[in-house]
Amino acid sequence: MTDRPFRLGLLALDGCMLSSLSGPADALHVAQRLLELRSPAAPPRFASVLFSARAAPMVRSETGIELVVRPLPRRPRFDLVLVPGVDHRRPRDVLERRAELAPELELLRTLHAQGTRLAATCSGTLILAMSGLLDGRRATTSWWLAGAFRRHFPAVRLEEQAMLVDDGDLVTTGASTAVFSLVLRCIAEVAGEEIAQQTARMMLLDAERQSQAPYVSRALLEKPRHSLAEKIARFLERELHQPIRVSRLAAHCGTSERSLLRHFRAHFGTHPLGYIQRLRVERAKALLETTQLSFDEVVARCGYSDVPSFRKLFKRETSLTPADYRERFRLRPR
C-alpha cells in the first residue's frame, strides 16, 4: 500500500472497445468513492485520464460513440498507461493497422523509455506487440487471438491461457473484462486489499479468475487456411472418438510424420498428440455443457478409455474439474 495517488492513462484509439476504457475508469471511480466513505476529508487517491497520441479532440469507439480526449501533456506522469482492445473481425484487421497506428506506437516506445509502466488488454496486446516492446518478454492475449499473435510475434513468450501476465513494466491481459484483474491489483497496491475486495463486490467482479482456459471454444478459433490443415481437421473430426496414431494421420494426409510435425508446430504451436488432446477436451466440454451423460460416457465419446487420466487432462487444460465445469457452463432452461 502507498500514500501516493494512482494515475491511469487511457490511450484513446479510433475503433476502441469502449468497455476497455470505461471499465477500468469506473472501477477506479468506485474505489475512490469507497475511500471517501471511509475518510471524507482524505485527498483523492485515484484518477484516470483519457488522452490521445494525436491532435484530434475526439475519437470514435467501435459502436460509434464519440469520446472527447485530451492531448498528451508535455510532461505526462502516469503510473500506468493502458492500450485498449480495438474492433476487429479477424486478427489481421488489427495487424493491418500498423502503419496507421504509427503515432501510437511511437508514443508507447517513448513512454516506456521514460519509465512509464504499460499495459494492454484484448486486441490491444497486438498493438503493444507491434511496438516491439514485448519482444523477449512474457505476455498473454485473448484466447481467440493467440494463434495469430504467435505467428506474427514469435519473439514474445506467449502464455495464452493466463488471464493476466505481469512482466514488470509491461502487463497484458486477455479479453476486455480480464483487465479488471489488473485494475483490482492496482487498487490493492494503492489502497489495500480490503478496498480492492469491496470494489470487486460492488461491481460483481470475480477477483479469483486466473485462467482463460475454461472459456476457450475451439470452434471460434481462427483456422489456418491451408489444404493440409483442412485434411487434418476433417480426419480428426471424424475419428476423434477412437485412438489416433500420428503415423495414421500422416498417411491419411499424404505426408511424412516429420512434415506433419513441422506443420503442427508452425500452425498450432504444439505437436499432433497435444493438439488431439485439446480437441478431445473441447468435445468433452461440449458434452458436459449440453448433455446429461455421465463423465465415463463423455470420456468414451472422446476416444479415451482411461477415465482418471482424462480427468487429469481435463483439469490441466481447463483449470476446472469436469464437475465444476458442468456446473458453471451447462445450458440451463430459461
Give me the pLDDT at residue 266, please.
75
Give me the pLDDT at residue 234, please.
83
Report how many domains make up the chain: 2
Residues 100 and 243 placed together within one structural domain of the fold: no
Give me the pLDDT at residue 65, please.
93
Give me the pLDDT at residue 218, please.
63
pLDDT in tens, 9-39: 999 999 999 999 999 999 999 999 999 999 8
Give me the pLDDT at residue 66, please.
93
**What is the residue-level pLDDT of the chain in tens, covering all 334 positions?**
556 789 999 999 999 999 999 999 999 999 999 999 998 888 899 999 999 998 888 899 999 999 999 877 777 789 999 999 999 888 889 999 999 999 999 999 999 999 999 999 999 999 999 999 999 999 999 988 988 899 899 999 999 888 899 999 999 999 878 899 999 999 999 999 999 999 999 998 887 777 777 777 665 555 555 678 778 888 888 888 888 888 988 898 888 988 888 888 877 778 888 889 988 998 998 899 888 999 999 999 998 889 999 999 999 988 889 999 998 888 776 5
Residues 163 and 286 placed together within one structural domain of the fold: no
In which domain, by residue range, is 71 found? 6-215
Residue 1 covered by a domain:
no
* Short-list 141, 137, 146, 97, CA closest to 117: 137
Residues 284 and 160 placed together within one structural domain of the fold: no
Residues 178 and 258 placed together within one structural domain of the fold: no
Residues 25 and 124 placed together within one structural domain of the fold: yes
Give me the pLDDT at residue 116, please.
95
Residues 272 and 296 placed together within one structural domain of the fold: yes
Residue ending a domain, among 162, 183, 215, is 215
Residues 115 and 232 placed together within one structural domain of the fold: no
Give me the pLDDT at residue 223, please.
56
The percent of residues in the chain predicted with pLDDT above 90, rounded, is 56
Give me the pLDDT at residue 32, please.
96
Amino acid identity of 290?
T
Residue 291 covered by a domain:
yes
Give me the pLDDT at residue 235, please.
87
CATH of the domain at 298: 1.10.10.60
Residue 150 covered by a domain:
yes
Residues 210 and 73 placed together within one structural domain of the fold: yes
Arithmetic mean of pLDDT over the chain: 89
Residues 252 and 192 placed together within one structural domain of the fold: no
